[in-house]
Structure 1
Amino acid sequence: MNKINRNDLCWCGSGKKYKKCHMEKDMELQKIEQQVGYQIPRELIKTDEEVEGIRKACKLTHDVLDMVAEKIKVGVSTEEINTWVHQYTVEHNGYPAPLGYYGYPKSTCVSINEVVCHGIPNENTILKDGDIVNVDVTCIVDGYYGDASRMFIMGEASEEAKNLVKVSKECLEIGMQQVKPFATVGDIGYAVEQHAKAHGYSVVYEFGGHGIGREFHEEPFVAHVGEKGEGMILLPNMTFTIEPMINLGVPETVILEDEWTALTKDGKLSSQWEHTIRVTEDGFEILT
């Protein structure tokens, strides 16, 4: 961060003088940086105004997924789900972030069974009895992003499938429980990986969570494997996703020719849950 004088306007854009805004927190942060040996980008620590913007986008994302939960059933196509997501988002003054993102052609991702993530909705893919389905929604509201996904079980799934969905949700919950000031990204990954492995599952390492705010994907990358105490230190008002992808078989994935759809390498089931969260003064807040 460039040198800023105490009577200058604060770097955060609040319009307040630096001494009345972020100066005290920055002094504390500098002490932490001296201890850990690296500088933490200031833009990763959101202002209160930014947090409110992100919270608003996350609320819409949550509402979209609630709407999907009410309507999704055996016999609908993934294209129908995409239409629901798109229409609800724009009708509530948002924009679906996936649409057009690096050329992605749809407004949501719908990933079924062995599809790990980024499944592209289409008219020919119909939900069947026994399918496990991930619907991933990201909304933009007033320039801020909110990102979450949920699993849905269609009809009577196998015990194997239901248990995978259950444990993958537990992995998300356990990962979130590691979040507090001065914990690290590695703490999250370690906890997720250990819980998955205890149930005989593997954790996808090629994809992970990410910072989020005014951009879809920001730092830090949140791996769902790792070691305690490693990776970026967490501080209040950092916002990011935790979204573990848990596989029944091997952790590796393959990407189809569409350059988006990721499948398990061995064709076995995969399950994922996701929330956007904020680091608070003493823990975490689920924004979605």
Structure 2
Amino acid sequence: MRRRREWPILKSPGEIEAMKEAGRVSALALRQVGRAARPGVSTWELDLLAEEVIRSEGGVPAFKGYGGFPGSICASVNEQIVHGIPSRAVKLAEGDVLSVDTGAIVDGWVGDNAWTFPIGVIDEEKQRLLDVTERCMWEGIAAARSGNRLGDIGHAVQSLAEANGLGVVREYVGHGVGRAMHEPPNVPNYGRRGTGIELCVGMVLAIEPMINLGTHKTRPMPDGWLVCTRDGRPSAHFEKTIAITEDGPVLLTVEPGREKPL
């Protein structure tokens, strides 16, 4: 039997507008967590803060209970790439980097975003990793235009990362977003120009480079969630949910007047 291809679920202009509230709440939670992330604070405390912010704004944490995940955020430290479970035992230290992924559901719509924060003063290598990975995200977003192909997004991310000697994670990718947190299509952070499905108006995508300071290879951990770098070197993760419109990509996970969660 031929495998059925899953097509993107296109959103109307009104639906895209409605998604902005879930995006705002998710972005607010991400910013508040980033402000609170400092030496001595546990990732469990940050998780409590994120849930409080999301619920106080009329949302529901999108991650909590998703596939059995116990937290409201994913909190991944240093060599941890994604899906770190918040814990009382994990306390941040000076020089760490912390990747935080937050999701909120408002009126049935999902907002999904992530950012990697420096904890105190970090070394030059880690700062370069964060700077390049954020630039990779913006380059991927810039390529998300009607008439381009899915591979154009991945190529934009991969070419910048590898030009800077960094490893691009293959096993974990971006995705469509809507009333479900994960919708088709998958959005890889690697690829060739002009390949893959054609991008069109109405697509809503989470573009989320996961870039490593060393090898691109990963190591899943025994808890079934956390994924680390194979070589133990640091990783960074940046993500925005965007809509493809006739006027180009529009950020959905953003607070009005705040492009970055600072």
Shorter-chain TM range is: over 0.9
2:79 aligned with 1:114, yes or no?
yes
Higher relative contact order (CA 8 A, sep 6+): 2
Q: Which amino acid aligns with 2:243?
A: R
Q: Partner residue of 1:77?
A: 42
Report the count of equivalent residues: 250
Q: In 2 relative to 1, CA 127–229 (structure 1 residues): closer, same or farther, beyond 3 Å?
A: same
Q: In 2 relative to 1, CA 39–247 (structure 1 residues): closer, same or farther, beyond 3 Å?
A: closer
Give TM-score scaled by structure 2 length. 0.93
Do the aligned residues in 2 keep the contact of 1:181 with 1:282 (CA within 8 Å)? no
2:9 aligned with 1:50, yes or no?
no
Report Cα offsets for 1:174-224 as digits up to 9, x if no partner: 111111111011001011111001100010010010000010100110000
Q: Partner residue of 2:119?
A: 154
Q: Partner residue of 2:57?
A: 92
1:260 maps to which of 216, 225, 234: 225
Unaligned runs of 5+ in 1: 1-37
Give the CA RMSD over aligned residues: 1.4
Note the 1:115-194 alignment, pairs <5 A.
Answer: 115-194=80-159
1:60 maps to which of 25, 38, 46: 25
2:241 maps to which of 254, 270, 276: 276
Report Cα offsets for 1:23-79 as digits up to 9, x if no partner: xxxxxxxxxxxxxxx9984x6210223212211100111111121232221110000
Provide the C-alpha distance between the structure 2 equivalents of 1:90 and 1:82, rounded to a whole number of angstroms: 12
2:161 maps to which of 196, 209, 220: 196
Q: Which has a greater percent of helix?
A: 1
Percent pairwise identity: 38
> Secondary structure at the residue paired with 1:134?
strand
Do the aligned residues in 2 keep the contact of 1:209 with 1:222 (CA within 8 Å)? yes
Do the aligned residues in 2 keep the contact of 1:175 with 1:188 (CA within 8 Å)? yes
Give TM-score scaled by structure 1 length. 0.84
Do the aligned residues in 1 keep the contact of 2:6 with 2:185 (CA within 8 Å)? no
1:287 maps to which of 241, 252, 255: 252
Larger Rg: 1
Do the aligned residues in 2 keep the contact of 1:89 with 1:139 (CA within 8 Å)? yes
Provide the C-alpha distance between the structure 2 equivalents of 1:69 and 1:206, rounded to a whole number of angstroms: 26
Report Cα offsets for 1:114-162 as digits up to 9, x if no partner: 0000000000100000000111000000110000011110112111111
Provide the C-alpha distance between the structure 2 equivalents of 1:158 and 1:74, rounded to a whole number of angstroms: 15
Q: Partner residue of 2:175?
A: 210
